[in-house]
């Protein structure tokens, strides 16, 4: 079967530029951190919305930096899979993509100022570091995404740190419970990046990248992906077993079918277009896992 990539038109050009399947990496941790905070205090919905929108904007901007710099380095073309395609397929000027990314950063920064006025100005430093990581993920002379550290940085900054900040802005503190419950988010956000790198392993190797998937090889990378999923679900099981969290959090196991589908597809297929559904399924896993974990915490709080 021959697969073709077609150009988008209208609003779809800009929607695809955000790479919507990755935006759950921003939404899910904010929701989870807020639901953990609900165990300690009433929710400040203004702060929740500001944090959510800022996180989504930073993630979208990071994707646009990726689009721009991969094009500038000659890595993307009209046949590239997994990109927004605004530049190479839809004719958007590269500088427009870059300007839009910085504009989203600016709006996120303004939302960050509001959050700081309501909580702590120490968050300025944290926010600036997170935004710098988003830019240097594909920008600068030594892009993080071209190294074996991509999963580590994305997991820590888009998974763990966002959960902790979302919790902190509601409670004014950080607890061991929040840190423990942020671990699965770290693993699942890292899994989103790893699925991307496994899909692109041939093209990335040809372009000189040294991602984790390239470093360990495709079969081992798929096993690492499986380990991320097993550890995320197993972590919750252990926390429930030792009495650290409510058994209601075992609701996360209702989502276990999706990661199974992801691993099976990566073992059955190797072509980028064939494994694209697994990319979407990994993002869904991240979202549904966080949602079910948050709902479990909410039920325990209400009861």
Sequential DSSP letters for the chain: ---------THHHHHHHT-GGGTHHHHHHHHHHHHHHTTTS---HHHHHHHHHHHHHHHHHHHHHHHHHHHHTT---TT-SSS--TTTTT---HHHHHHHHHHHHHHHHHHHHHHHHHS-TTHHHHHHHHHHHHHHTTSSSS-GGGSTTHHHHHIIIIIIHHHHHHHHHHHSS--HHHHHHHHHHHHHHHHHHHHHHHHTHHHHHHTT---HHHHH-HHHHHHHHHHHHHHHHHHHHHHHHTTSS-GGGGGGGGGTHHHHHHHHHHHH--SHHHHHHHHHHHHHHHHHHHHHHHHHHHHHHH-
User: Would the CA dihedral through 11, 199, 31, 170 be positive or negative?
Assistant: negative
- Averaged pLDDT in 10-residue chunks for the chain of 303 residues: 52 80 86 95 96 94 89 68 64 88 96 96 94 91 92 94 96 96 96 93 87 96 98 98 96 96 94 88 94 95 87
pLDDT in the model for residue 260? 96
For the beta carbon of residue 102, count every other beta carbon within 10 angstroms: 12
Q: How far is CA 224 from CA 80, 182, 220, 230, in A?
A: 25, 19, 6, 10
Q: Give 124's Cβ-side CA count (13 Å radius).
A: 9
pLDDT in the model for residue 250? 97
Q: Which CATH class is domain 11-302?
A: mainly alpha
Q: What angle, rounded to 10 degrees, do the helices at 123-136 and 94-118 form?
A: 160
Q: Which residues contact 39 (CB under 8 A, 6 or more apart)?
A: 177, 297, 300, 301
The Cα diameter of the chain in Å comes to 56
Domain layout of the chain by residue ranges: 11-302
User: What is the rounded distance in angstroms from the CA atom of residue 302 to the CA atom of residue 39?
Assistant: 9
pLDDT in the model for residue 7? 54
């Amino acid at each position: 079967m021959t697969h073709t990539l077609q150009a988008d038109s209208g609003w779809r050009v800009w929607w695809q530029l955000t790479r919507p399947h990755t935006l759950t990496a921003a939404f899910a941790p904010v929701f989870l951190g807020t639901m953990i905070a609900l165990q300690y205090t009433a929710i400040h919905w203004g702060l929740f919305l500001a944090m959510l929108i800022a996180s989504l904007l930073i993630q979208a901007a990071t994707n646009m930096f990726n689009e721009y710099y991969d094009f500038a380095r000659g890595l993307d073309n009209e046949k590239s899979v997994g990109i927004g395609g605004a530049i190479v397929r839809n004719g958007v000027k590269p500088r427009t993509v870059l300007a839009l990314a910085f504009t989203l950063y600016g709006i996120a920064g303004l939302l960050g100022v509001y959050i700081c006025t309501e909580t702590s100005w120490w968050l300025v430093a944290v926010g600036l570091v997170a935004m710098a990581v988003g830019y240097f993920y594909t920008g600068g002379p030594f892009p993080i995404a071209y190294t074996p550290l991509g999963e580590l940085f994305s997991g820590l900054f888009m998974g763990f740190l966002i959960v902790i900040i979302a919790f902190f802005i509601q409670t004014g503190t950080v607890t061991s419970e929040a840190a423990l419950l942020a671990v699965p988010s770290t693993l699942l956000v890292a899994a989103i990046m790893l699925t991307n790198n496994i899909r692109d392993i041939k093209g990335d190797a040809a372009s000189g990248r040294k991602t984790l998937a390239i470093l360990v090889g495709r079969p081992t990378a798929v096993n690492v992906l499986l380990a991320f999923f097993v550890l995320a679900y197993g972590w919750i099981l252990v926390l429930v077993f030792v009495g650290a969290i409510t058994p209601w959090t075992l609701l996360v196991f209702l989502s276990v079918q999706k990661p199974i589908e992801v691993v099976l597809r990566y073992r059955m297929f190797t072509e980028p277009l064939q494994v694209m559904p697994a990319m979407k399924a990994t993002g869904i896993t991240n979202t549904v896992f966080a949602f079910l974990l948050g709902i479990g915490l909410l039920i325990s709080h209400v009861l």
